[in-house]
Amino acid sequence: MRTATGTDEPALEVFPPGTGRAADGVLVVGGCRVDELAAAYGTPALLVDEAHVRATVRRCRAALAAAWPDAQVTYASKAFPATAMYRLMAQEGIWVDVAGLGELEVALGAGVDPATILVHGNAKGDDLIGRALEAGVAYVVIDNLDDVDRLEGRATREQRVLVRLNPDVAPQTHDAMSTGGQRSKFGLPAGLAREVIARVRAANLLTLAGVHVHIGSQIHDLAPFAESVRALRALVEELGIADVAVYDLGGGLGVPHLRGEHVPSLEEYVGTLAAAAREHLPPAARILIEPGRALVATAGVSLYRVVTVKRAAATFVAVDGGMGDNLEVSLYGQPFEAVIAAPRTAGPRAPERCDVVGQHCESGDRLVAGVELPAPAVGDLLAVPVTGAYTHPLSNNYNGALRPPVVFVGGGEHRAVIRRETLADLVRRDVA
C-alpha cells in the first residue's frame, strides 16, 4: 500500500498518517478500506482516526510537561463534543472545557470527572450555572457580571472561578474566529473586570483562582499568542490581582488543510507560550492551555458519494453531503482538499479541474473549489480530509439533510460512535 508519506499523491499529506491506497486504488484510512466503510455505514460519513487523535494529545501533553512545571492541557470540546471523544480525552489524562449545557451533560455522561471540567460561555443561563455547581466543576470562567449574580444566587459550596480578560489582541484569522479584540463579545476590559473581581472577592462561596484569555481560532502566527500572555500579565497587575495562581492561556492554534501549507507545530506553539510565560508570569503559576481544533481536526476525513457530474462553465462534482455536514467553507471560507477515494470503475482517467459542491440549495454550498480530480463519475467515493473539528457539532438539517454518522477507525477496525440520523429522528420533534 502506498502511504501518505510517499510522494506519488501529494494531497495525502493532509490525511491522517498512514493513509494510503490499496493495490486497486481504494483509499485506506486507519487500516480500513473506504469502500467497505461506505458499504457498512453509508455516505456521507465522518471517519476519525482514533490512534491519530491519541498520538496528537500525547504530543501536546509531553510538550507542555517539558515546558512548564505546573501545567494542564484542557481539550476545547466545542471542536468535537461526543461521548467517545470525551472518554478518549479523559483516558489520555487531559481536562475538558465545555461551552454549553449540552456539552457539559455529554461530558458528565461520558464519565469525565467534573473536577477536570471548565465551563465557558458569554451567556451562561441559569440551567448551565446550576448544573455546573451541582456537578462540582473545577472552574467556571466568568465573562460578565450576570455570571456572578447567578453563581452567588445558586452556590451552596465553594466554587473556584477564573475571570476572562480581553487582551485587545486581534490575530490574523477570519473575523468570526477572532475573540481577543476590543469589539469581541468575549472577555472583560479592565474597567468591567475590576467590578467583577470586586464582586467575586466579596462573595462568600466564590474563590478567584485565576484569569483566562483566548484570542481566536485557526491562528497560524505564533506572535499574537506571546503578545496575549504579555497583555494578560499587564492586566493582572493593573487590576491588583497579582496573587492569582492560575493562568489559562486559551487555545487557537490552526492546522494545515492544504498540501504544502505550513502551520506551527504543537511543540512550537507550546514553546512560544512557555517562553512568554517565563518572561511575564510568576514562576509558580499554574498554566492551562485549551487546544481544540489542533487535537482533532487532522484525524477527520469526510466520505461522500458522487451524485452528479455537470460539465458546464466549470465541472461541478456534486456529492451527497455539503454544508449540512461541513459549514467551515460557508462560515469561514476555509479551503479543503479532496481526492477520489474509490472510483466506481477501474482504469486510467484523465485529470480534470473541478468544483466539489454539495446537494443543498445554496450557491455557497461549495466544499472544494478548483481541485484536480481524475475524471470524476457518478458513484465514485470522494474524501475530504481535515474535517475532525467543527464539522460534527455544526452539522444541521438544512433541506432536510440527515446528519451523518461518526465512525472511529484504527488498526483495520471500525465502529460507529454516533449513528446516522434517520427520517424518524428528523420528524420526531415536529409536534404540529
Please give the C-alpha separations between residue 418 and each of 104, 373, 408, in angstroms, as whole numbers: 18, 30, 9
Domain ranges of the chain: 2-50+298-428, 51-297
pLDDT tens for each residue of 353-382: 999 999 999 999 999 999 999 999 999 999
Q: Print pLDDT tens along the chain (432 aa).
A: 555 444 468 899 999 999 999 999 999 999 999 999 999 999 999 999 999 999 999 999 999 999 999 999 999 999 999 999 999 999 999 999 999 999 999 999 999 999 999 999 999 999 999 999 999 999 999 999 999 999 999 999 999 999 999 887 766 565 655 565 666 777 899 899 999 999 999 999 999 999 999 988 899 999 999 999 999 999 999 999 999 999 999 999 999 999 999 999 999 999 999 999 999 999 999 999 999 999 999 999 999 999 999 999 899 999 999 999 999 999 889 999 999 999 988 888 899 999 999 999 999 999 999 999 999 999 999 999 999 999 999 999 999 999 999 999 999 999 999 999 999 999 999 998
Query: What is the model's pTM?
Result: 0.95
- State the DSSP H helix or E strand holding residue 246, giving kind and residue range, or none if neither: strand 246-248
Q: Are 214 and 186 in contact (CB under 8 A)?
A: yes
pLDDT tens for each residue of 228-262: 999 999 999 999 999 999 999 999 999 999 999 99
Could you give the CA distance from residue 270 to residue 285 in angstroms, rounded to a whole number?
16
Helix (H, G, I), strand (E, B) or coil at 264: coil
CATH 3.20.20.10 at 51-297, yes or no: yes
Q: CA-CA-CA-CA torsion for 49, 77, 266, 409, nearest 10 degrees? A: 0
Cell numbers 485565576 correspond to 210
CATH no., domain 2-50+298-428:
2.40.37.10
Which of 32, 60, 354, 361 is labelled catalytic?
361
pLDDT tens for each residue of 199-231: 999 999 999 999 999 988 899 999 999 999 999
The reply to whether 51-297 shares the fold of 2-50+298-428 is no
Cell numbers 440520523 correspond to 421
Q: Are 22 and 1 in contact (CB under 8 A)?
A: yes
Percentages of the chain per state (helix, strand, coil), in multiples of 5: 35, 25, 40
* DSSP string for 150-193: HHHHH-SS-EEEEEEB------SS-GGGB-SSTT-SSSB-HHHH
32 catalytic? Reply is no
